[in-house]
């Protein structure tokens, strides 16, 4: 009954956390400009991927068989 974790991409929460982090970094505007451009690109990709993930998500239900019910 052990489960294998689904690891094709980083979990949504991690992506969201990174997205917020990037937005904060860009807000401060302290990083060198090429770094800012890199962060921007990464942020936009993350936003897109999170969006797509949420919009395409379908409820996944796995059913376990109980020991005590027939």
Q: Site residues (CB under 8 A) for other proteins? A: 1-3, 5, 11-13, 16, 19-20, 22-23, 26-27, 29, 33, 36-37, 40, 43-44, 47, 50-51, 53-55, 57-69
CB of 8 to other proteins, least distance (A): 14
Q: Rounded CA gap, 53 and 9, in Å?
A: 11
How many CB atoms neighbour CB 51 within 10 A? Answer: 10
Count CB-CB contacts under 10 A for residue 28.
8
Query: Closer CB to other proteins, residue 5 or residue 8?
Result: 5
């Amino acid at each position: 009954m052990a489960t294998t974790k689904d690891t094709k991409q980083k979990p949504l929460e991690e992506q969201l956390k990174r997205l917020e982090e990037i937005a904060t970094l860009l807000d401060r505007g302290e990083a060198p400009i090429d770094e800012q451009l890199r962060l921007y690109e990464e942020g936009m990709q993350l936003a897109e991927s999170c969006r797509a993930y949420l919009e395409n998500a379908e409820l996944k239900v796995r059913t376990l068989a109980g020991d005590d019910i027939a």
